[in-house]
Amino acid sequence: MAYTDADRQGREYILRLMQDAGLEVRIDTAGNILGRREGTEAGAPAILFGSHIDSVPNGGNYDGDVGVLSSIEAVRTLVSRNERTRHPLEVVVFQNEEGGLIGSKLMATGLTDEELNRVANSGKTLREGIGFLGGDVARREEARRSSSQTLCYLELHIEQGGNLETLGKTIGVVEGIVSLREVEVTVDGFANHAGTTPMDHRQDAMLAAAQFAVEMNRMVRAMPGRQVATVGRIAAQPGAPNVVPGRVVFSIDYRDLAVATLDRLDEQFHDIARKVELETGARFSFDQHPASAPALMNDGLRAMIAESADGLGLSTHSLPSGAGHDAQQMAKITPTAMIFIPSRGGISHSPNEYTSPEDVVHGANALLQTVLLVDQNGMTR
Provide the domain limits for residue 204.
179-288
Check whether residue 263 and residue 279 sit in a common domain. yes
| pLDDT tens digits for range 66-108 | 999 999 999 999 999 999 999 999 999 999 999 999 999 999 9
Give the pTM.
0.88
pLDDT value for 83:
96
Check whether residue 14 and residue 116 sit in a common domain. yes
Cα torsion through 93, 159, 108, 135, rounded to 10? -30
Would you place residue 381 in the very low, low, confident or very high pLDDT band (cuts 50, 70, 90)?
low
Question: Average of pLDDT values for 16-41?
Answer: 97
Question: Average of pLDDT values for 163-174?
Answer: 97
End-of-domain residue from the set 265, 288, 311: 288
CATH number for the domain spanning 271: value is 3.30.70.360
| pLDDT tens digits for range 18-28 | 999 999 999 99
Decide: helix, strand or coil at residue 140.
Answer: helix
End-of-domain residue from the set 240, 258, 288: 288
Check whether residue 254 and residue 138 sit in a common domain. no
pLDDT value for 341:
98
CB environment 11-47: b (16+ within 10 A), e (fewer): beebbebbeebebebebbbbbbbbbbbebeeeebbbb
Spatial distance between the Cα atoms of 62 and 75, rounded to a whole number of angstroms: 20
Question: Average of pLDDT values for 342-359?
Answer: 95
Percent of the chain with pLDDT over 70: 99
Spatial distance between the Cα atoms of 268 and 305, rounded to a whole number of angstroms: 37
End-of-domain residue from the set 288, 323, 355: 288
| pLDDT tens digits for range 237-290 | 999 999 999 999 999 999 999 999 999 999 999 999 999 999 999 999 999 998
Check whether residue 302 and residue 270 sit in a common domain. no
Least confident of 111-120, 238-247, 300-309, 354-363: 111-120
Check whether residue 50 and residue 168 sit in a common domain. yes
Check whether residue 75 and residue 143 sit in a common domain. yes
Higher pLDDT, 381 or 298: 298
pLDDT value for 293:
85
Check whether residue 140 and residue 258 sit in a common domain. no
Check whether residue 283 and residue 364 sit in a common domain. no
Count of domains for the chain: 2
Check whether residue 364 and residue 237 sit in a common domain. no
Whether 8 and 133 have beta carbons less than 8 Å apart is answered as yes
**Average model confidence (pLDDT) across the chain:** 95
Count of beta carbons in the 10 Å neighbourhood of residue 243: 16
CATH number for the domain spanning 364: value is 3.40.630.10
Q: How far is CA 288 from CA 181, 182, 274, in A?
A: 8, 6, 17
